[in-house]
């Protein structure tokens, strides 16, 4: 706990910080340098720095990992999920913040959103610039996350991502720029709220109040490969995904989830072998709908609709893990938001 903060008022929100690393805990060793190392600043140091801002919140921290989010995976996800479960069960916790690298924040947020009930606020936050860089965005994003996680109106909204003075739903959010501090965008919805350390404006009431988890936490996440489509493409990448033992394939397709005839034929072959195929798009934004240029009904494919390939992969993993194999039931899961 931060000394002097916890006894402010009975309404002071009590927030658990689960740290995983990333640029928000990154250090360059120089305010002007380009290179830096993610995950260098420990959770105690971060909580102490937040305390100096005078945030009205009682913060306590737990370190889950100290890695760049390119190295986040099953082990960290399990630890995060179970730590959040404990926080949900603890009446002395009002909200949870997960500090996370920005590169895969959308995947972690979406996995947790699909497997947790929409109860207390769970807010992922990161930074585009390391803590010691000039113009660092980390502490501002963190202060914004505290504001969101401590707000009773954040309950029943599912997992949220706070970046660049905006609050996004896990289902909408994606990283859309490699280095701007305004790197996160939402689709099909933009932000659910705008936030600053001094203000928080929600644009609509919470839509998921009382909703349980869509999926049980899986015993294991099955292997699902993303095949990236391009011009002049043959079937080899699909064949090697299957040879690797993929239990499902997501196509990062051209335009509305399209690919060359040999690739589509190989993907149809996968479906006939019991390996589900979801068509998403390599294009940054937009829907992939059924039966537009590709005959999904005839080929047995699922259309990713609003989900990009990396989000489609997470949803397909959970569907396979929970024993769903019927393409119509899979499509219904991708149609739902
Ligand atoms: N690649 C690292 C990560 O995702 C650093 C990038 C960042 O956090 O913005 O954790």
Q: Quick check: 232 pLDDT over 70?
A: yes
Q: Burial, 324: exposed, middle or buried (Cβ in 10 Å; 0-12, 13-18, 19+)?
A: middle
* Residue 162 pLDDT: 98
* Residue 48 pLDDT: 87
* Residue 10 pLDDT: 54
Q: Quick check: 9 pLDDT over 80?
A: no
Distance 76 CA to ligand 1 centre (A): 15
Q: Quick check: 2 pLDDT over 60?
A: no
Residue among 168, 207, 206, 212 at smallest CA distance from 188: 168
- Protein residue closest via CA to atom 8 of ligand 1: 101
Give the residue-averaged pLDDT of 148-170.
98
Convert the pLDDT of each residue in 268-320 to its tens digit.
999 999 999 999 999 999 999 999 999 999 999 999 999 999 999 999 999 99
pLDDT tier, 243 (very low <50, low <70, confident <90, very high otherwise): very high
Q: 236: Cβ–Cβ under 8 A, 6 or more apart, which residues?
A: none
In this chain, the answer to whether the domains covering 5-202 and 224-335 adopt an identical fold is yes
Tokens coding 246? 């993929």
* Residue 3 pLDDT: 45
* Residue 128 pLDDT: 95
Q: Where are the domains of the chain?
A: 5-202, 224-335
The pLDDT mean for the chain works out to: 94
Distance 58 CA to ligand 1 centre (A): 27
Class of the domain covering 5-202: alpha beta
* Residue 97 pLDDT: 98
Q: Which atom of ligand 1 is nearest to the CA of 104?
A: 4
- Protein residue closest via CA to atom 1 of ligand 1: 68
Measured CA distances, 60 to 44, 57, 77, 274 (Å): 9, 10, 20, 47
Distance 103 CA to ligand 1 centre (A): 5
Convert the pLDDT of each residue in 40-83 to its tens digit.
888 888 888 888 888 889 999 999 999 999 999 999 999 999 99
Q: Quick check: 6 pLDDT over 50?
A: no
* Residue 310 pLDDT: 98
- Other beta carbons less than 10 A from residue 16's beta carbon: 24
E-strand spans in the chain? 14-21, 58-67, 95-99, 122-125, 159-163, 166-169, 173-175, 184-186, 193-196, 199-202, 224-228, 248-253, 277-281, 302-303
Q: Quick check: 173 pLDDT over 50?
A: yes
Q: Which atom of ligand 1 is nearest to the CA of 128?
A: 9
Convert the pLDDT of each residue in 251-260 to its tens digit.
999 999 999 9
Query: So which residues are the catalytic ones?
Result: 23
224-335 is a CATH 3.40.50.40 domain: yes
Tokens coding 292? 């537009």
This prediction has a pTM of 0.94
Ligand 1: residues within 6 Å at CB?
22-23, 38, 68-70, 101-103, 126, 128
Q: CA end-to-end span of the chain, whole Å?
A: 37
* Residue 4 pLDDT: 41
Convert the pLDDT of each residue in 93-148 to its tens digit.
999 999 999 999 999 999 999 999 999 999 999 999 988 889 999 999 999 999 99
């Amino acid at each position: 706990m931060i000394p002097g903060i916890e006894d402010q008022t009975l309404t002071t929100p009590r927030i658990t910080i689960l740290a995983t690393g990333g640029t928000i805990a990154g250090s360059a060793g120089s305010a002007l340098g380009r290179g830096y190392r993610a995950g260098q600043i420990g959770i105690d140091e971060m909580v102490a720095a937040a305390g100096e801002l005078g945030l009205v919140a009682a913060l306590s921290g737990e370190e889950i990992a100290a890695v760049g989010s390119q190295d986040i995976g099953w082990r960290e996800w399990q630890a995060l999920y179970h730590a959040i479960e404990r926080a949900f069960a603890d009446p002395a916790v009002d909200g949870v913040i997960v500090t996370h690298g920005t590169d895969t924040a959308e995947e972690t947020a979406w996995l947790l959103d699909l497997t947790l009930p929409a109860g207390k606020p769970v807010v992922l936050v990161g930074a585009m610039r390391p803590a010691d860089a000039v113009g660092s965005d980390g502490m501002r994003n963190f202060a914004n996350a505290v504001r969101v996680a401590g707000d009773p109106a954040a309950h029943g909204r599912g997992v949220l991502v706070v970046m660049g003075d905006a609050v996004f739903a896990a289902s909408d959010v994606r990283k859309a720029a490699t280095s701007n501090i305004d790197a996160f965008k939402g689709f099909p919805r933009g932000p659910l709220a705008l936030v600053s350390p001094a203000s928080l404006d929600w644009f609509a009431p919470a839509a998921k109040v009382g909703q349980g988890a869509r999926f049980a936490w899986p015993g294991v996440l099955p292997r699902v490969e993303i095949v990236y489509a391009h011009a002049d493409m043959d079937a080899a990448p699909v064949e090697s995904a299957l040879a690797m033992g993929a239990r499902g394939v997501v196509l990062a397709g051209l335009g509305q989830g399209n690919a060359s005839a040999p690739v589509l034929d190989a993907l149809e072959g996968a479906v006939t072998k019991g390996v589900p195929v979801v068509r998403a798009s390599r294009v940054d934004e937009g829907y992939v709908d059924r039966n537009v240029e590709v005959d999904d009904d005839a080929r047995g494919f699922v259309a990713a609709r609003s989900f990009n390939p990396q989000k489609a992969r997470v949803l397909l993993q959970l569907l396979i893990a929970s024993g769903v194999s019927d393409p119509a039931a899979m499509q219904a899961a991708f149609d739902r938001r």
